[in-house]
Structure 1
């Protein structure tokens, strides 16, 4: 045939062929352009079924005029051998481009958007391709995608044949019944949709599933559904979830994985409903990716803005906390999970709500909170607290970046989607160092049966995720027998801690939950945290402290392994001056969890209040050696500042610069403690404007170091503010730093605050003796009286320690 002239086409060379046709390159002698001629093979030219299918390809394609669909010029016949004249394309098929390796992400999104656009054009004409696969997608030399081979095309059932017309107005006829017998599958096996594999009626959504398979192959270089036999492939398509994309290609954006996952939904109603919808998501992702590249930034988790300062101050209350949502305060920041030499640090990021239902916006936080709580009961896992993970709540968060920021070995992510009347929760764990998925699980439950979600989630985590992370699952965690109590608990988890209104709402919801289910240990623990917040920051008082204590005690009675509640009780005792009881509980905590960074940290906290600085430092170092990535250990920097070990103090401060200050701020504090006020003045002058307002540098410090007016008014204000605080340590620390910055001008209020701190059992005799910056105060009789009282306090604490230690040997 090469060299022959057929109609007004001169055949130049053979390009290739398949079961339904042979393709030649030819020249259109009338228009002087190159074309591709596709001939039906001679052995099929007289087969009416093959002929109808061949002609249907021409009619279907010619009805479409779109840049991403190969243009058909005409259909003709040469001596009873029909052929199609179509656009000649230079380039290669997508099949040749995807040869066991993934495409570049940007190229993939560009081609994917074009293919979706072409499918949308076909579907809008009522034409379903039914054989979308890489071999039927051509990529030109200029990077333009073209959909080929409409040989299996069929008019969608919702569009009558008379509604679809060719460019010349001729109606496309189908005649499909005799070409596809009931129950016969049409299409290439590995790319078939579930409904196609079952021989069911098809609509445009079958193409979207096949397109999802193509995208998966473009993203990973491999097929999502594979098997040694046709039956095995069918079984995968119908019943099995594909391997997570990120496990095969760590470069895959989360949003792209979501798009492909939605296209591969086996349930038609949950899958993308139109190519236009899929195209929009791909275009949006492409735009966002390009914007990030142009701005020179990789999409990462946003940092907390300055409006969240109060939250972070609140988060500094020296409580070691389970990685649960409640009670993340200044000294309540380490997780209650054990940390050993083989300990695994885990960060659970807020889940994504993909349902489009704003009424379910509470679930992403609540479910990630539940996952963290369950994991916290595994002794070998250290779960990063929600206060550190909540900033990674946006859809474009990179789990690898988050994991490195949080010094976590594994990051757990998840999403919530609707499947008809059901909710589907998908979770996966990513190994940060090796860029691979170590575990993936999906749970589907009826939307109205949240208690089933609670049970299935806990069960799958204990049997699947915990072992995958190298842990040993224990009991405990979020459990309720009352579905309404569980829902109230979940909604409370999503209620803000940042403001009085949100915290009060959380209290109301948790009170209702505990009334419905009095044995709901986790709800009691969170209620304790909420009451503590109200007492500390939102106008509460002793009544709220007592309610916090009562709720924590109830939680521990119901769940002896509730580390969060245990630590809350220790902190309440310490801040209330009950050092003996606090020491007993902290010591027991260490005995129960000897390899836990949390237990050693909370013991160091009690020891610092008792004036045993060397022992406190030893426990701090032990905690740091067990988990050097836990920023909840940051308050140990107070221990080392009082000891004069400024280098070690700075190392603990570096765990959370937002709370403890940046290195220049730490150097300034060290200079003040050393007693060199003039050097401190110079250091303060070198700070940036933002650094001058960091949390450790209270207004009085800046005012005094710059000799600003109004120091007396500031002094009165901060004295009243600090004196109202139940916790004695802030009184001592702020008074000490004020004196070191301001000198004798503030000696009277400083001594009053120190006296009050010691009266509340802050036994700081060693700090009073050691800190060089306090030297000028030591000659004052008031100081001597304070020191004597601190000495008695410390001696009483040491006597109790010795008694307890002897009794337990």
Structure 2
């Protein structure tokens, strides 16, 4: 066709072609400009469905006016050949730009941001692209990204002649390009904008690493990989990649659409933060930082009056035109919130427990609002006395809003000052002072939570309103003792847990009906067996009694429901009862990272992997800096036998703290399960050294690894060490015997653990370490006696 004239276009050269079109460079003789002409291939010229798809591309793309989408000029027909006239671009496709080599983090973020903005515009028009891939993204000579080829776009609502019910394909094959298709596309399910987010995640991955997330070439293996496997972490392939960009990519690629970015706009916001990072400020003392913020946010009245006088005439003449045309600008939308540690203004370090307790109480109150995601205590406490700029804190915690303030306790009076800030911009939104007697502190906390909910206009259900309206008076001495108990409980050492129990009991001596103190006792006794400080048969019944008493006094106490759930599954093996309590706890406090975390462990033991992953990832969202929650993401994958993904998640946790012994132990377990026994031994040895002691569970894991590696002498040494302890740690002993292949002994020790409700015995339902015992009828009988529901 070179040299021919089609309508008012003179064909100059062929630019390329694909399965559904051939593209030529042409000159528009009417307007004197270059255009790109796309023709249907000859073999499809008389195919009605192909022609309809071809025209649909033009209609879909022309409905969106956006600088990152290739402009469509017209649809035409020449001697029975349909063609589209579109913007001519100089540059190359992203496929050629990548060419098997990773791009720099900055370029990945900038190009990804432009594509996300294009998709945001398309989705706003009700259009899903469904075929985002490097070949359909053009990069101009100036670095501008242009999205091409809307040929299989799905129209969610009518655009031009198209209807919302179009199926777009009659072949029975899901439309799209296989390596970039979301799992729900492959399953033939109804897709929405999140399928485009997944595809863009694949493109970001390819830009960042030079290769696709899944490299299988054949259809069935590739489909299986997309549906069931996890991609290699991008930074494992490109260590220079920015960690935050890796996080963004992996969130796009989550197989569960509900766990991905829920819109291109959400993805755009995170990419925008990378492209235009907030300016940082020099470090300064907490006092200086507080003074600087106070000055900036509380301008002198004289300055305000001066500015008002200077602008009054302009505003008068403007006559409200802006408001009539555009409406008043609304406040930034706040859907997620972090409550930073309240500053202790007393000047007395001994009052830190009170400031920390008030912080935790505000988090608890706000967590009752299901429409608001509230970051948990563990993560926000990392910012105690922090000098980090607010935008950086908001970015690290992935929140829209930040609440900061101070608390002053003077005798029986409590004064709280809080201010709400839009995290990404550091813009002050609202501030208030509250003062109450200590006996009214619960009502004060509820009042602050209600005020914040009103200010950010978050939806609060009638049930949540009723719970936030609570706040009966408390005995000041009992409340103070309770806060001291929680202060020590949060430290989680054996000594601190014993102190917490003592403080909670003292609180009950002051007020025998103070339900939170009973819940605190239950929490403390629930944790002691995990540390090996107290046998489960002794600790768990006490936890149960305390939790039931707390609920008898106050059935809306989340901590008590969670504590009772823990006892039900770890001691009573009442699986249905445990789940009922977990669900009630999450109904009362949807943003409790602590409850989501415990519920995930429960689901893991029952081998309900998808639910467990959903819960542990939600816990991580709510408590992103918690080392144990990040490590337990790997732990869930380990017990699900997804060892490669477990390894990646464990390495992420160790990037947060390479000296976290629990993560080292998990890494050893993963290596052992993969048959990498020497690596497992090395990790267990590191964990023991980091622990500063010789925890029985670590010794059992190390002995098991030695046994599996064939070093029976070292395994026997560790076995002897455990057998000499008083009391003997039952499960670690059974673990080493299982590794040595001594089934009779292993089963005998498991039976003893069953009889005394040995800590963590319920994990034999899923543990790879006891796989050699699973075929034994005695092992199966043991599982039946533990009341496990049938899978």
Q: TM-score, normalised by structure 2?
A: 0.47
**Structure with more contact order per residue of length (Cα contacts < 8 Å, sep ≥ 6):** 1
User: Rg bigger for which structure?
Assistant: 1
